[in-house]
Each structure stands twice: as C-alpha cells, then as structure tokens.
Structure 1
Amino acid sequence: MRDVGAMEPLATFCGNCDCGCPQLFVDETAPEDRRVVITDDFGQQIRMSTDQFGSIVQEAKAGNLDAVVESAGVPSAG
C-alpha cells in the first residue's frame, strides 16, 4: 500500500481553506478490500473496497443520505 502523499487525489471535499480538507484516493496497489482511501482534515484514513464505496455513492444518489446531512445542519447543495 502506498502512502497517500504519493497518490493524486480524485476529489477534495472542501477546497475553500488551507486546513487540510478531506480527500478521496484510489490506491491501485492495495488489496481489493482496502483500495478506496478517504483522508480527513487530520491525516487519518478510512480504507474500503470499491464495492463498499459504490454502495455509499448509490445511497447518496438515491437521496438516502439527505436526512443525515440535514440533521447535521449542512446547507443544501441545491
């Protein structure tokens, strides 16, 4: 498994500050169950399979995560 510093991020989830925003990576050298990497503002990592990440994406597309975002007080993107 590579260090995230050696990988190009696929997405940055805030980008409006210099605080070390969460980022999404794919580590092609990692085992399949740890290939998707999400980092937080503090350098911690979550690693998951592409199937698990795909499940999160599908839930978000279906609107099933909207209530979580609303209850956290996050402004709507729309």
Structure 2
Amino acid sequence: MTDNSPGLEPVATFCGNCNCGCPQLFVDPAAEEDRRIVITDDFGQRVQMSADQFANLVSDAKTGKLDAVAVAAA
C-alpha cells in the first residue's frame, strides 16, 4: 500500500514482497508533534503517534518485549 497523503516522508515498507499492499512507516513533518509518526496497514488504516512513543516501541522491540507477539502471529 502506498499512502498518497501529501507531505508524508516514507521511512520503511514492511514486507514489500507482494502486491497486496504492505504496512508502511512515514514521518509527517507538518503534523502536530504527538501525531508525527504514521504507520499504515494493508487495509487502509493508520496509526499516528509521537516520536517518543515510536522510540519506546522500537526500544521494546529491540529488547525482545514484542517477540511473543511476533511468534503468536506466525
């Protein structure tokens, strides 16, 4: 999935090996600080969060706190 909202800066595409539309990560520099990070899914939904919230999510992923979720989804 490509989010065509103007001003979104693409950061990463998750999966990318298919044509079904993949979750993507964007930065919206024009958004309020608490909504600057945008994650879209392959169903057209989006989540917006602050850079601090996203940093916490990344930190949790790096330390393995989210591993059980990834295993359960597999």
TM-score norm. by structure 2 comes to 0.87
Gap runs ≥5 in structure 1: 74-78
Aligned: 1:26 with 2:23: no
Higher relative contact order (CA 8 A, sep 6+): 2
Deviations 1:27-59 (A, max 9, x none): 000000000000010211100000000000000
Q: Tell me how many residue pairs correspond in the alignment.
A: 70
TM-score norm. by structure 1 comes to 0.83
Secondary structure of the structure 2 residue equivalent to 1:10: strand
Of Structure 1 and Structure 2, the greater strand share is in 2
Match runs of 1:38-49 below 5 Å: 38-49=39-50
Of structures 1 and 2, the larger Rg is shown by: 1
Moved over 3 A (4+): none
Q: CA RMSD in A?
A: 1.1
Gap runs ≥5 in structure 2: none
